[in-house]
Amino acid sequence: METYAYPHFPPSSSAVHVALFTNVTNASDLRARIVKASTLEGPEGDAERARVNFAFIDARLISSRLHLQTAIYQAILADAQGALRTKTVHSEILWALNPTNNITEAIRRYGVSDTSSALIIVRVDSPALQDVEASMRAVVDGTVSPLEDLTSLTNWSAIKKYYKLNTEPAVKAAAKDASRERQIVNEIVVSSVAMKSVMG
């Protein structure tokens, strides 16, 4: 797990904890649990929402660490400015990753699906929060892996499809050089995430 500090943001959102889980075996149950938690009422609902209070991101759709960090930063910034377009800072991360403004589509594409086998789990909170990794492990059945493994999981075809980059001239020009093509796709995707709050 990695932790990033953002001391210039309010204390309640100045620490970000990120873990990559591979070999995830409970994606379907986890998705059902998240949906159920959103509708539970009373103290039981509050407790269950607290247990799943993370951004669950399909790792296959993240092109780089910078891509992920840009979406996280944009979500925290929106939260700090009182400009969230979604209900929570964690769902705002999913919204920031999606090239359109449709939150349902963002959750469907970038959130946990029944077939997810690799997930990035993000918790935005205060630096005082304890035992974050243990809380993540209590929810996700999988192996915590180094974030450096992220690019080996990336589904570049899906990213190009969602961002409509298959006809992008720069991407087409680099089609015979996979490394260069991925670099160009990553640059476009990161820029799109960074600009989304300005454009959208």
Q: What is the 3-state secondary structure (H, E, C) of 126-139?
A: CCCCCCHHHHHHHH
Mean pLDDT (the chain, rounded):
93
pTM for this entry = 0.93
- What is the pLDDT, as a whole number, of residue 51? 92
- What is the pLDDT, as a whole number, of residue 129? 78
* Topology of the domain covering 2-154: PF0523-like (3.30.2380)
- What is the pLDDT, as a whole number, of residue 45? 86
Q: Give the DSSP H or E segment for 148.
A: none
- What is the pLDDT, as a whole number, of residue 163? 94
- What is the pLDDT, as a whole number, of residue 130? 83
- What is the pLDDT, as a whole number, of residue 127? 82
Residue segments in the chain with a per-residue pLDDT below the cut of 50: none
Beta-ladder partners of 20: 120, 145
The residues, ordered by sequence, that sit 6+ positions from 1 with a Cβ below 8 Å of its Cβ are 17, 18, 19, 132, 133, 136, 144
Specify the amino acid at residue 55: A
Is there a contact between 54 and 139 (Cβ–Cβ < 8 Å)? yes
